[in-house]
C-alpha cells in the first residue's frame, strides 16, 4: 500500500496543522490486524490532529465547536480545542452504536443488536442541547445490521451490514422520505470491495460530492463508490481506493475544517482529524485520467 511521503515542515505548511492535544492514551490495546487491503490505493487523507478518548471504539463525528466519540453505548462530547471531555450520554437499551451523522443540529446514530440475530436495527438521535440520546426510528424487519445513515439530495441513505460468508448481502438503501418506509432502490457493493472486506463490511460512509466514501472495518482505506447511472442497476461502482489514517469504523465530515474527515483509531483510543491530500472528486485536473474515472468516462 503506497503512503504519502511529506516532510514535517512541508506537511505543516501545506495543511496548517490543528493545535489539538496529542497525549498518549492509556487504554486497553487491541492487536492490529495482520492483513491489509489487497486493492491498489492512492493518497487520500492524512492525520492532522487527534485527541484521546476511551469512548473512541465505534465512530467519530463533529460540529463546529466539538468532536464526538461514539462507543457501543455512549456518545461523548469533547471540546475540539482543549480536548476536554464535556459530557457523555447514553440511554437504556443502547447496545451497539455504529456511526453518527449531524442533521439540523442533532446527531443521528445507527444502532443495532449486533452480533445477535435475528437482526434488530434502529436510528437513535443525540441532542447536544439536552445531552440526551433517544430512539428516532425502528426498522421492523431490517435487511441486516444498520451501520451508517446519511443524507444526500434530501434523502436518507442507510447501510445494513452482513458479515462472514454472508457479507455480500450488505446493502445501501435509498429512502424517499423521512419515515424510512419508502425505498427508492437497493444497491450492493462491488465484488472487488466485498472480497477486500476480509469477512466484514463497510463500517462507515459519507457522501463526497456525488460519490460515497465508505470505510473498512479494520483497514486504513476508504472506497470511493459511484452510484450507477442506470435506474435499474443494483451494484455500486468502485472508482478508487484511498489511503486514510482511520483503521476502520465510522467516519464523518468535519464542518470546522472543510474537506476534512473525522474518524477513530480504535487501537489507540483516539479521535482522529484527517485532511484531504488529493483533489476532491469535483476538482480533479480537467481531462486527467482521475477526472475521467470520477466522471464515469474511463475505467479505474
With a cut of 70, say whether residue 277 has pLDDT above it: yes
Rounded to an integer, the average pLDDT of 177-192 is 95
Does 243 score more than 90 pLDDT?
Answer: yes
Give the tens place of pLDDT for each residue, 171-182.
999 999 999 999
| pTM greater than 0.75 (yes/no) | yes
Round the average pLDDT of the chain to a whole number and report it: 87
Mean pLDDT (whole number) for 99-105: 97
Residue 284 in domain: no
15: pLDDT strictly greater than 50: no
Judge whether residue 291 has pLDDT over 90: no
| In a domain? residue 95 | yes
Query: The domain containing residue 89 runs over which residues?
Result: 41-274
pLDDT of residue 278: 77
In a domain, 162, yes or no: yes
Residue 33, domain member (yes or no): no
Q: Is residue 287 part of a domain?
A: no
Domain count, the chain: 1
81 in a domain, yes or no? yes
Cis peptide before 118 (omega within 30 of 0): yes
Domain for residue 16, yes or no? no
Q: What's the pLDDT score for residue 5?
A: 33
- Cβ atoms 265, 47 nearer than 8 A: no
Residue 1 lies in a domain: no
Residue 174 is part of a domain; what is its CATH number? 2.120.10.30
pLDDT band at 36 (very low <50, low <70, confident <90, very high): confident
Amino acid at each position: 500500500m503506497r503512503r504519502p511521503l511529506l516532510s514535517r515542515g512541508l506537511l505543516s505548511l501545506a495543511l496548517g496543522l490543528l493545535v489539538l492535544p496529542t497525549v498518549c492514551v492509556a487504554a486497553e490495546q487491541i492487536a492490529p490486524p495482520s492483513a491489509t487491503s489487497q486493492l491498489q490505493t492512492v493518497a487520500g487523507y492524512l492525520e492532522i490532529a487527534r485527541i484521546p478518548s476511551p469512548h473512541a471504539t465505534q465512530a467519530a463525528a463533529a460540529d463546529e465547536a466539538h468532536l464526538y466519540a461514539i462507543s457501543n453505548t455512549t456518545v461523548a462530547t469533547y471540546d475540539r480545542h482543549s480536548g476536554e471531555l464535556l459530557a457523555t450520554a447514553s440511554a437504556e437499551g443502547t447496545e451497539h452504536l455504529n456511526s453518527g451523522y449531524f442533521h439540523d443540529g442533532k446527531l443521528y446514530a445507527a444502532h443495532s443488536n449486533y452480533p445477535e440475530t435475528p437482526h434488530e436495527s434502529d436510528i437513535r438521535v443525540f441532542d447536544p442541547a439536552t445531552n440526551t440520546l433517544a430512539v428516532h426510528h425502528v426498522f421492523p424487519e431490517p435487511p441486516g445490521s444498520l451501520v451508517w445513515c446519511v443524507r444526500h439530495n434530501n434523502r436518507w441513505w442507510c447501510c445494513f451490514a452482513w458479515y462472514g460468508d454472508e457479507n455480500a448481502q450488505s446493502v445501501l438503501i435509498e429512502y424517499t422520505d423521512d419515515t424510512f418506509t419508502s425505498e427508492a432502490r437497493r444497491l450492493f457493493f462491488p465484488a472487488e470491495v466485498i472480497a477486500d472486506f476480509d469477512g466484514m463490511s463497510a463500517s462507515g460512509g459519507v457522501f463526497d460530492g456525488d460519490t460515497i466514501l465508505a470505510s473498512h472495518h479494520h483497514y486504513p482505506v476508504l472506497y470511493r463508490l459511484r452510484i450507477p447511472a442506470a435506474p435499474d442497476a443494483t451494484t455500486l461502482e468502485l472508482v478508487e481506493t484511498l489511503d486514510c489514517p482511520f483503521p476502520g469504523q465510522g467516519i464523518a465530515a468535519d464542518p470546522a475544517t472543510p474537506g476534512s474527515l473525522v474518524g477513530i483509531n480504535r487501537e489507540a483510543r483516539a479521535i482522529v482529524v484527517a485532511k484531504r491530500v488529493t483533489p476532491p472528486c469535483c476538482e480533479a485536473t480537467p481531462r486527467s485520467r482521475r477526472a475521467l474515472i470520477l466522471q464515469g468516462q474511463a475505467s479505474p
